[in-house]
Amino acid sequence: MKKIALLFITLITISINAQTEKGSFMIGASSNLNFGSAKIWSENDGYNSRDTKATNFSIAPKVGYFIMDNFVIGTELGLSYSKSSYENGSDSYKNNSFVFTPFLKNYFLKGEFKPFIEAKVSFGKNKSENNYYDAFDSYNYTDESNIFGYEFGAGIAYFINDTISVEFSLKYNKTKNDTTNGDYTYHASSFNSSIGFGIFL
């Protein structure tokens, strides 16, 4: 009985390891969908509180190819949309972005749990639109910018079976947005965590 159990565990381990071998493909994605509302107010006289609603959506499918055992190169395409509007239905802010992200990823160890490190470089476009109305006039401002960024991260992947993994990672990223009209450059950096999944073929 012990020999049968040992053989079964060995076969599972071999099957899992095969998914990160040279010549395998990896498919994955992460997404985010949020709806929210907030109330904005001021203690100054003459300013009434205003309710605002916000919607945020993003998706980032990716595909990779193992050029050697446990080492994958690939690309990720990120799409995001956000909108905020006030209760009067006229004032609003919209933002759309598209990002192309090549990446490198290396897995370690054998078995169901595999630590990994990864690095990414991002290139993309961003467009924002701000509509504002007051008692005297209306304003419509559109801003476009070029995106460049990079990211480093580390985490661990848990292989549920021989084709599907769930991954948790901690990341540091930095981005720069240059407006196309040259008015300003926006920089941002952050540490964050994420949960994703992978399909190995």
- What pLDDT does residue 184 have? 72
- What pLDDT does residue 15 have? 38
Domains of the chain: 2-200 (2.40.160)
Predicted model pTM: 0.69
**Span 104-118, average pLDDT:** 93
Band the pLDDT of 95: cuts 50, 70, 90. Answer: confident
pLDDT at 150 over 90: yes
**Buried-state track 122-156, b at ≥16 Cβ within 10 A, e below 16:** bebebebeeeeeeeeeeeeeebebebebebebebb
SS (H, E, C) 22-81: CCCEEEEEEEEEEEEEEEECCCCCCCCCEEEEEEEEEEEEEEEEEEECCEEEEEEEEEEE
- What pLDDT does residue 33 have? 55
Stronger pLDDT, 78 or 86, i.e. the higher one? 78
* pLDDT digit string, tens, across residues 2-58: 444 443 333 333 334 456 788 888 888 776 655 554 555 444 555 555 566 777 778
pLDDT at 149 over 90: yes
E strands, 69-163, are: 71-86, 92-107, 113-133, 138-159
